[in-house]
Each structure stands twice: as structure tokens, then as C-alpha cells.
Amino acid sequence: MKKTVTTLADGRELIYYDARADTVRDAVDPRPLTRVVSRSEIRYDELTGDPVTVASHRQDRTYLPPADACPLCPSRDGRESEIPEKGYEVAVFENRFPSLSGGVGRCEVVCFTDDHTDSFADLTEERAALVLDAWTDRTAELSALPGVEQVYCFENRGAEIGVTLPHAHGQIYAFPYVTPRTAAMRRRIDAHREATGRNLFDDVVAREKRDGERVVLETDHWIAFVPYAAHWPYEVHLHPKRRVPDLLALDGGARTECPQVLLELLRRFDRIFGPDAPPTPYIAAWHQAPFTDGRREDFGLHLELFTVRRAPDKLKFLAGTESGMGAFMNDVRPEDAARRLREVADA
């Protein structure tokens, strides 16, 4: 892998990741950009203690532009974008309209391909491996920034999820706090250790492997299953069989297999509802241990992949119980979801 670091016209960092060591990236951003004034503010809910980021400057961010004005396509034919090169493999840049900014974290955009019509599932294993390398490198770089406690790599796909740019991309948030979901996991990890003397992630994976009914796929180094108490209609958790706290700690076998396994899961998601259904909207979220946690070795790196679609023509909306009370009601039995995801395996 070759990594090339440069800057955009307004000073934001841009990083190219290429498979070939002899690739040259030297295009200059010619746009007359001025830095967007962005200063986020973190407030804390007095009743729950949960952090809430206020980022009012994001009201003016780019929203569903036409294909010929996509800011994530390469710059070509007189059209200038966030990527000055005429083509690229994987590119990462600081978000022009970040949720976290002004010394309270950082937000980056990860472009998986320069093809506007491709999705992550369309990538080759080699390109998916390059994306994994980029996620890993950015995790290392961002975790070293002052004040950063947690690095979160994720992809939102589909207008139903709220995506504002259809070009295949993900994001990375460097949080200046431990997110509420991770904090809840941390409490459960500690309680399980105190009650049993064992690791929670190890016990969950062992139970799913033993039961088998919710397992979607298994390889030498990975196991994917629908969780026992899935929140979403179709939800899969992907774990390395050897527990590690983050992407940096993946060993050779798990790292080599990861692109193939991830692509297979995403392709199955697109087949859940049949060949005539539109692409399945989803969120793919990598959960990594906070970097300020002295017990981070107890955390288990894993991917949580889920969709809000519950039938070909129906979405699961967060209604009063979910939005108002955080009490989820799932319309699809997890065992049925797992069976369907096994049925649509790539033959």
C-alpha cells in the first residue's frame, strides 16, 4: 500500500491510498475555497448524562447533488471536486461540514471507489482490502490526536438511512468522548467479568457458535450471526474468532479473510428481498475499544451491520417506543432473519 498525504485548497487534509507503490498523486486543488467556519459544541443531557453534539453549520452541507456535480467523483472534464486527481482507488479527506470540529474531535470521509455507480458490494477483494488498510491507518492516526477517546469507522448506504451523497463512501469519527453505546457495553463487560470471571464477547460468540441457529456464515477466522436480541429486522454482527480490541490488532489470517467475508455479507443483504427489490439500505458500523480505556483488551472488535427495511416495500421506522423510550420492538424473528441470510448465500 502507498499512502500519499496532501491538502485541499482550504487546508483540509486529503490522503490517497493506492495498491501500487509506484503510484504518483500530485494533482493540486485549484478551487478558490475558503475554510468553512465550523465549531461544534458538546452538551450533556442532564437526565441521562449522554453527550449531544450541536453543529449548526451543517445545515448548509451538500444535499443529494446530481451525478455531474458529485463532490466525491474525481475531478475531470472541467468539473472540480473534493478529489483533484482524475482517478483514484481509495481517498480520505477531512469533512468540509464536520459534526465534530473546533478542537472537539474530527470527521473524515472515506471514498471507496471513483466509480459513481458502484457500491461497496461491487468492490473487488483487493479494493476492499485497501479500504480495510485505510480504516486501520486512520484509526492509528486519529487515536493519537489530543483529546480523542474513540475512533468509529462506518458506512451509511441508501436514502432511507439518510445518506446525502449517493457515491459509495463511509465516514470516520474521532470522538472526544466514549459514545453512549460503547459506554453501555463497557458496563456489561465489567458486570459479566465480575459475575462469571469470563469475557462477555467470548461467551456471546461461543454461545452463538454452539447454538448455530442464528449463525449466518463462519470461516477460519470470522463468525457472523444475527444477535439473540436483534434490534433491527435484519441485523448481523461479525466477530473475529480471536478477540482483539481494534482494527490495528487484527492478525494476518483475520485481516486477509476480512474483505471476502465483508463483501459476502453485503452482497447477501442486497439479495434478502429478491432480485427485483432496490438495493438494501444499511449501516455498517465498526465497534472498537476506546483508546483511553485502561481495560481495553476486554473489548471485542466487531462489525454491526443492519437495515431499516423489514419487507420489500416496508421500512422499520423508529416509533414512539424506540424513539421515546429506547425500547426496541422487532418485527422479524432473529432466527428467521438468520435463515434468510443463509438462503441467499453466494452460490
DSSP string, 68-111: GG-TTSBPBTTB--SB-SS--SEEEEE-SS-SS-TTS-EEEEEE
214 and 309 co-located in one domain: yes
Range of the domain at 85: 2-178
C-alpha cell at 190: 465489567
pLDDT tens profile 76-126: 988 999 999 999 999 999 999 999 986 789 999 999 999 999 999 999 999
- Sorting pLDDT into bands at 50, 70 and 90, what band is 347? low
86 and 196 co-located in one domain: no
Catalytic residue among 169, 192, 239, 287: 169
- Sorting pLDDT into bands at 50, 70 and 90, what band is 232? very high
The per-residue pLDDT for 52 is 94
Instruction: Pick the last residue of a domain from 178, 204, 235.
Output: 178
69 and 140 co-located in one domain: yes
336 and 187 co-located in one domain: yes
Report the predicted TM-score, pTM, of the whole model to 2 decimal places.
Answer: 0.96
195 and 151 co-located in one domain: no
Instruction: Pick the last residue of a domain from 178, 194, 221.
Output: 178
pLDDT tens profile 213-227: 999 999 999 999 999
pLDDT tens profile 247-290: 999 999 999 999 999 999 999 999 999 999 999 999 999 999 99
Instruction: Pick the last residue of a domain from 152, 178, 204.
Output: 178
The per-residue pLDDT for 55 is 87
**Total structural domains in the chain?**
2
165 and 274 co-located in one domain: no
199 and 306 co-located in one domain: yes
99 and 47 co-located in one domain: yes
pLDDT tens profile 48-76: 999 999 987 776 676 678 888 999 999 99
The per-residue pLDDT for 78 is 87
Coil, strand or helix at 276 = coil
Q: In sequence order, what are the residues at sequence separation of 6 or more whose Cβ sits closer than 8 angstroms to the Cβ of residue 118?
A: 112, 168
The mean of the pLDDT values for the chain is: 95
Residue the block writes with cell 436480541: 229
146 and 239 co-located in one domain: no
- CATH number, position 254: 3.30.428.10
Closest CA to 345 of 236, 201, 229, 252: 236
Task: Give catalytic status of residue 169 as yes or no.
Answer: yes
Residue 3 has pLDDT above 90, yes or no: yes
Annotated binding site for Zn(2+): 70, 73, 116, 167
167 and 246 co-located in one domain: no
26 and 170 co-located in one domain: yes
241 and 297 co-located in one domain: yes
